[in-house]
Amino acid sequence: MTRPRLPLLRLALSLPMLAFGVSTEARAQDVRMGSKSFTESYVLGEVAVRALENANVPASHRQGMGGTIILWQALTGGGIHAYPDYTGTIGEQILGTESRLSREQMRDSLAGRGIGMTRPLGFDNTYALVMTRERARELGVEAISHLREHPDLTVGLTHEFMERRDGWRPLARHYGLAMEEVRGLEHALAYPALLRGDIDVMDAYSTDAKLEELDLVALADDASFFPRYEAVFLYRLDLDPAVVRVLQGLAGTLDRRTMVHMNAVAERTGSYEAAAGVYFGEEDVEGKQWRRVTGRILGWTLRHLQLVAVSLLLAILLGVPLGIRAARPGLLSQLILGGTGVIYTIPSLALLAVLVAVPFLGISTATAIVALFLYSLLPIVRNTATGLRSIPVEIRESAAALGLEPRARLWKVLLPLASPTLLAGIKTSAVINIATATLAALIGVGGLGEPILSGINLNDAGVILQGALPAALLALLVQGLFDALERWVVPRGLRL
Amino acid sequence: MIRLTDVSVRFGDLVALDDVDLGVEEGDTTVLIGPSGCGKSTLLRVVVGLVEPSAGKVTVEGEPVTPDTLLPLRRRMGYVIQEGGLFPHLSARRNVTLMARHLRWPARRREERLEELCELTHFPRDGLDRYPGELSGGQQQRVGLMRALMLDPRVLLLDEPLGALDPLVRRGLQDELREIFGRLNKTVLLVTHDLAEAAWLAHRIVLMREGRVVQEGTLADLKERPAHPFVPDFMAAQRSPVEI
């Protein structure tokens, strides 16, 4: 007899092999630099990391973690040590003051929260409302106040700008604007919408490379609404003074023209390293790019697999016992099935946001794994319960009447009989997990979502595909792997 | 050997067994018979502990059947149901030896016992590596019987063991069962709804109706000294081909 003896034990043993023991968590002494999810922030983060590395300080970059609130929480929580921001944002959004603070007042106020602020880097990136040159000329609009004459225009704004204290609502009040069509849009998607004419006005930054590239005009802030947005680095005050000196060394070295150029290089090459290279005087970095792409895709893929494997393994370890319990009739079973079902209905972005607010999770790999784990539970729990419930009563009773203990009944009879359904549940979980894991990039823990997210920011389909294609292939591969596993694990008697 | 004292089983409003008293002597073959829903299967399931009585007491070899004594008692009883109740994921061999393996019998002892059982039940040895889905109904029933007999229990409980078989196979297996019961000298409690089968296999017949025992005795007792008007009615309802 060479048939599988303990099919489920085999299944249990074969899964950890997927979970590579590698941890890409930054080493303790690394300086963890964060950045927001737009090109300029990525580039500034990259510049800082390069500057630190040039000063022999080990540093890592958590790219594109999200908006101001997430970065600020990560900074105060210790998830990251520093990140680039703008004085306007700090005053309005972080300190939440109505009055315009001087830099000194801002510095004092931040120090009270354990955070330091470097001197300005040298350029001002204020918010602006922009239109296509053609449309602006057609309507005769040159300044924001001219919009008052055109309440029928459609405005597309980033969600952040819509909610900011110095954002759309106060701006509209300040200028007496009365547009009815105001839509929230992902910034990168707003440009094509503007060019197509779906929207007439959008918000943008004054250093945005797109302004020149797409021939857009920034409307004059003729009633001086916007505060100043000088770029600075925020850092934890408990950071090594040597590290702070490096960040301070960047102050006053970056003018607006250099920043616009770096943004343009980033958009053209799809590489933030290449853009940061401009600052360090490397103009010919674009050629090296292609050789690095393969290596990077491999890195993202491994990271992705790691997130999937760990969360899936945890989901199996908890989901199968929960499913076994839920196979019995009763209130508790209803609660288990209902509870895992409810988790499934929470939008992934909302779930991430909730988990990020949990003190000991924050912006970390653990958060991504917990979220993926929660999403993976439902198919495993439900299929385990269904598989067990559908076993005919005569089989259950025969197992009992033989004199097998309940545990032996479960392992020798019930679970092997439920194994095809159980395995199908794990397969579903794995595929969903691979797709969902791309969202991990939203909180800066990497994986194949990273190129997808940067690609959306760069408006570059090629970069998006660097993440989307491997993710799709991975899903197919895992599906095939489970089909093979099924042949090995499911007893032959059940495949007749 | 098996003793039921004032046993009642209720499922909600439904009374499956109503105050039943019954004793089965060691080495006897007792057949429970009666119309569908008379409680004969429930009685068997009470003995093997699949159904807990609402009232009364059940003992096997003098030991009360309770949740605590259930496991060792079940290992001293063999239980066979219609269509065998075989585990579809295990081969015939694995089905039969499952308990022996669980109890860590040495391989040699297992093989010897398997050999004896194949011979006893006329099961072909080359069928042992087949899965239940690959066996005929009669052969599945033989495997079910071997599985019940593997640990050499002193009590054998059979619930409509031949119920799902076609008449020819059934007839052959009735002969074999009779031979097997005769050779093994076990205490047998068998459920059927077929009077001829009961008469052929039983030392004693127990006729049941609506959860109660109507009469127990030999076929001759039931025929000649009916204890209740239902007895001749039931006997008459079983049409023999000769009458047609």
Task: Give the residue among A302, A321, A411, A375 at the shortest CA–CA distance from A19.
Answer: A302
A335-348 pLDDT, tens per residue? 999 999 898 888 88
Question: Of the candidates A400, A405, A413, which has its C-beta nearest B87's C-beta?
Answer: A413
Q: What average pLDDT is seen over chain A?
A: 84
Q: Is the pLDDT of residue A20 over 70?
A: no
CATH of residue B191? 3.40.50.300
- Which residue of B lies nearest to A407 if distances are taken between CA atoms? B102
Residues B68 and B159 in one domain: yes
* Residue at A391 is within a domain: yes
Lowest model confidence (mean pLDDT) among A165-179, A279-293, B47-61, B201-215: A279-293
CB-side exposure of A386: number of CA atoms within 13 Å? 13
What contacts 24+ positions apart, CB below 8 Å, involve A392-399? A394/B81, A394/B83, A394/B85, A395/B85, A395/B87, A395/B88, A397/B45, A397/B50, A397/B81, A397/B85, A398/B79, A398/B81, A398/B85, A398/B86, A398/B87, A399/B87
DSSP-derived 3-state class of residue A200: coil
Interface test with B, best of A402, A413, A422, A486 (most B CBs within 10 A): A402
Res B242: pLDDT = 58
Res B107: pLDDT = 94
Residues B184 and B227 in one domain: yes
Q: Is the pLDDT of residue A349 over 60?
A: yes
Chain centroid offset of residue A396 CA: 47
DSSP-derived 3-state class of residue A429: helix
Question: Could you say which of B119, B152, B185 is where a domain stops?
Answer: B152
- Which residue of A lies nearest to B45 if distances are taken between CA atoms? A401
Is B105 in CB contact (< 8 Å) with chain A? no
Residues B160 and B68 in one domain: yes
ipTM of the complex: 0.91
Q: How far is residue B48 from each of residues A356, A407, B76, B192, measured CA to CA in Å?
A: 56, 19, 10, 17
A432-471 pLDDT, tens per residue? 999 999 888 877 677 898 888 878 876 778 888 989 999 9
* Residue at B82 is within a domain: no
Residues B102 and B140 in one domain: yes
Residues A173 and A132 in one domain: yes
CATH of residue A180? 3.40.190.120
For chain A, state the CA radius of gyration: 27
Residues B170 and B220 in one domain: yes
- Which residue of A lies nearest to B131 if distances are taken between CA atoms? A493
Residues 6+ apart with CB under 8 A from B111: none
* Residue at A26 is within a domain: no
Residues B139 and B168 in one domain: no
Whole domain around residue A202: which residue ranges? 127-218
pTM, 2 dp = 0.65
Res A19: pLDDT = 37
Q: A283 pLDDT band (50/70/90 cuts)?
A: low
Task: Give the residue among A192, A226, A198, A217 at the shortest CA–CA distance from A130.
Answer: A217
CB atoms within 10 A of CB B64: 13
Residues A197 and A279 in one domain: no
Residues B143 and B188 in one domain: no
* Residue at A224 is within a domain: no
Residues A486 and A343 in one domain: yes
> CB of B67 within 8 A of CB of B58?
no
Spatial distance between the Cα atoms of A165 and B119, rounded to a whole number of angstroms: 90
Question: Helix axis angle, A289-326 relative to A461-489, nearest 10°?
Answer: 40
Spatial distance between the Cα atoms of A170 and A323, rounded to a whole number of angstroms: 52
Domain count, chain B: 2
Burial of residue A182 (number of CB atoms within 10 Å: 0-12, 13-18, 19+): middle
Residues A77 and A208 in one domain: no
Greater confidence, B243 or A36? A36
Residues A102 and A184 in one domain: no
Task: Give the residue among A380, A384, A434 at the shortest CA–CA distance from A410.
Answer: A384
Task: Say which amino acid occupies A400.
Answer: A
Res A452: pLDDT = 87
> CB of B35 within 8 A of CB of B209?
yes
Q: Is the pLDDT of residue B109 over 90?
A: yes
Residues B144 and B166 in one domain: no
What contacts 24+ positions apart, CB below 8 Å, involve B139-144? B139/B92, B140/B83, B140/B84, B140/B86, B141/B80, B141/B83, B141/B84, B141/B165, B141/B173, B143/B84, B143/B86, B143/B92, B143/B95, B143/B96, B144/B80, B144/B81, B144/B83, B144/B84, B144/B85, B144/B86
Residues A279 and A304 in one domain: no
* Residue at B39 is within a domain: yes
> Dihedral of the CA atoms B118, B122, B123, B125 (nearest 10)?
60
Question: Could you say which of B96, B125, B152 is where a domain stops?
Answer: B152
Q: Report the share of chain A in percent with pLDDT over 90.
A: 40
User: For residue A188, which phi and psi values (nearest 5 degrees)?
Assistant: -65, -25
- Which residue of B lies nearest to A412 if distances are taken between CA atoms? B98
CB contact under 8 A, B131 and A493: yes
- Which token pair is B47? 């003995």
CB atoms within 10 A of CB A99: 6
Question: Of the candidates A398, A413, A496, which has its C-beta nearest B81's C-beta?
Answer: A398
CB contact under 8 A, B85 and A398: yes
CB contact under 8 A, B79 and A402: yes
CB contact under 8 A, B71 and A405: yes
Instruction: Establish, for the pair of chains A and B, how many residue pairs have beta carbons separated by less than 8 Å.
Output: 71
Residues A118 and A245 in one domain: yes
Residues B15 and B93 in one domain: no
> CB of B147 within 8 A of CB of B96?
yes
In eight-state DSSP terms, residue A146 is G
Query: Strand pairing of A31-34 and A59-62?
Result: parallel
Question: Of the candidates B50, B71, B134, which has its C-beta nearest A496's C-beta?
Answer: B134
Question: Could you say which of A218, A240, A270 is where a domain stops?
Answer: A218
Greater confidence, A204 or A284? A204
Spatial distance between the Cα atoms of A277 and A284, rounded to a whole number of angstroms: 9
Res B102: pLDDT = 95
Interface of A with B (CB under 8 A): 1, 3, 394-395, 397-405, 408, 412-413, 416-417, 491-494, 496
Burial of residue A141 (number of CB atoms within 10 Å: 0-12, 13-18, 19+): buried
Spatial distance between the Cα atoms of B121 and A369, rounded to a whole number of angstroms: 57
Domain count, chain A: 3
Res A389: pLDDT = 95
Work out the widest C-alpha separation in chain A, in whole angstroms.
90
Q: Smallest CA–CA separation between B44 and chain A, in Å?
A: 11
Residues A388 and A336 in one domain: yes
* Residue at A30 is within a domain: no
Residues B234 and B143 in one domain: no
Residues A135 and A196 in one domain: yes
Question: Helix axis angle, A39-54 relative to A256-269, nearest 10°?
Answer: 100
Residues A268 and A174 in one domain: no
Res A296: pLDDT = 80
CB contact under 8 A, B74 and A398: no
* Residue at B163 is within a domain: yes
Greater confidence, B113 or B236? B113
Res B240: pLDDT = 63
Q: A158 pLDDT band (50/70/90 cuts)?
A: confident
- The stretch A37-58 carries a mean pLDDT of 90
Residues A314 and A450 in one domain: yes
Question: Could you say which of B128, B152, B176 is where a domain stops?
Answer: B152
- Which residue of A lies nearest to B79 if distances are taken between CA atoms? A401
Q: A290 pLDDT band (50/70/90 cuts)?
A: low
Q: B243 pLDDT band (50/70/90 cuts)?
A: low
DSSP string, A293-343: HHHHHHHHHHHHHHHHHHHHHHHHHHHHHHHHHHTS-SHHHHHHHHHHHHH
In eight-state DSSP terms, residue A102 is P
Which single residue is written with the structure tokens 């059982």?
Answer: B117
Residues B123 and B225 in one domain: no
* Residue at A27 is within a domain: no
Lowest model confidence (mean pLDDT) among A343-357, A379-393, A411-425, B204-218: A343-357
B150-198 pLDDT, tens per residue? 999 999 999 998 887 888 888 888 998 999 998 888 999 999 988 889 9
Is B74 in CB contact (< 8 Å) with chain A? yes
- Which token pair is B156? 């054998």
Residues B140 and B221 in one domain: no
Task: Give the residue among B14, B13, B9, B15 at the shortest CA–CA distance from B58.
Answer: B9
A161-176 pLDDT, tens per residue? 887 777 888 899 999 9
Whole domain around residue B238: which residue ranges? 2-76+154-243
CATH of residue A322? 1.10.3720.10
CATH of residue A258? 3.40.190.10
Element (H, E) at A272: helix A272-279
Q: Is the pLDDT of residue A228 over 90?
A: no
Q: Is the pLDDT of residue A8 over 80?
A: no
Give per-residue burial for A329-360: e unless 16+ CB within 10 Å, then b. Answer: eeeebeebbeebeeebeeebeebbeebbeeee
Spatial distance between the Cα atoms of B127 and B243, rounded to a whole number of angstroms: 41
Q: Is the pLDDT of residue B241 over 50?
A: yes
* Residue at B59 is within a domain: yes
* Residue at A160 is within a domain: yes
Residues A191 and A336 in one domain: no
Res A443: pLDDT = 75
